[in-house]
Amino acid sequence: MSIKKDPDGRRSIQVEIEVPGTPEEVWEAIATGPGVSAWFVPTTSDEREGGQVVSTFGPGMDCPATITEWEKHKRFVAEAPMGPPGSPSCATEWIVEAREGGTCIVRVVHSLFASTDDWDNQLDGLEQGWPAYFRVLRRYLQGFRGQPCSAMQFVSFASESEADAWAKAGGELGLLDLALGDRWEAPEGFPSMSGTVDMLGHGMHANTMLINIDSPVPGTMYIGAFSCGGMVMVCQSIYLYGDDAKAAVERDEPVWQAWINERFPMPQMG
């Protein structure tokens, strides 16, 4: 954990990545609804100071934030409660800095004011979560910028421990014994899909994996099981690009959804 704690009570973490593209192209990917939806979660944005950014992490899991600062092609800040009512407000600052050679630095800074350590685990979770998604962002800008994206997002919560949930999900998909650079093919009974392991565990949540998909159409799959807000979340995100992506999603999404619903049914809310 690398939380910065200032004397005035401000606590913050920051994560950054270098990506290809001009500031205008990178801004389109990190500050507009369609751009963010192509590498993170379904998102809408008013793209103005005083407007809202709404990120949808699953059914009934909309997370709105209010844009408090907006400098187009440079930076914006959006604020939202860190948790339930009464929790501190978290300001999320996005920054785009141009570099020589046609690249930019994308930096995200999460900041809140708190007098105790109660919210440090939440900041730690954010710090661990961004590297994988930033890898998807970089791959999107490298190879798929401007192409249509169709994505499948599946989120549920496990009654098992983080390790057991990953053993179940990763085991059924044949992921547990893979190393960086290994080829993967979806086992029989799953939608036809194959690719190469791009990232696993290191620098992100331990029980997670990123796969560069080359079939049925090019894209990226992010899958993992990790603690979130005191619960174990199972997350699978599949981003497909190009003219054939929509048809692939329409064909395969019901099968993937049925699998995660069966293996990790959402808990009943009392």
Contact between 89 and 79 (Cβ < 8 Å): yes
Is the residue at 269 inside a domain?
A: no
Residues 53, 123: one domain?
A: yes
Residues above pLDDT 90, as percent of the chain: 71
Residues 134, 154: one domain?
A: no
Residues 157, 125: one domain?
A: no
> Concatenated DSSP letters for 186-225?
PPTTS---EEEEEEESTTS-TTEEEEEEEESSSEEEEEEE
Task: Please state the domain count of the chain.
Answer: 2
Those residues with Cβ within 8 angstroms of residue 75's Cβ, 6 or more apart along the chain or in another chain: 69, 93, 94, 95, 96
Which residue segment(s) compose the domain that 236 sits in? 149-263
The pLDDT tens digits of the residues spanning 223-237 come to: 999 887 678 889 999
The last residue of one of the domains, among 143, 173, 199, is: 143
Residues 139, 154: one domain?
A: no
Residues 154, 72: one domain?
A: no
Mean pLDDT of the region 13-37: 97
Mean pLDDT of the region 204-232: 89
* Residue 217: HSE in the Cβ half-sphere, 13 Å Cα cutoff: 22
The last residue of one of the domains, among 90, 115, 143, is: 143
CATH of the domain at 90: 3.30.530.20
Residues 139, 171: one domain?
A: no
Residues 20, 128: one domain?
A: yes
Check residue 269 and report its DSSP letter. Answer: P
Is the residue at 86 inside a domain?
A: yes
Given a cut of 90, is residue 217 above it in pLDDT?
Answer: yes
The last residue of one of the domains, among 94, 128, 143, is: 143
User: Given pLDDT bands bounded at 50, 70 and 90, which one contains residue 39?
Assistant: very high
Mean pLDDT of the region 233-260: 96
pLDDT of residue 49: 97
The pLDDT tens digits of the residues spanning 165-199 come to: 999 999 999 999 999 999 999 999 999 999 999 98
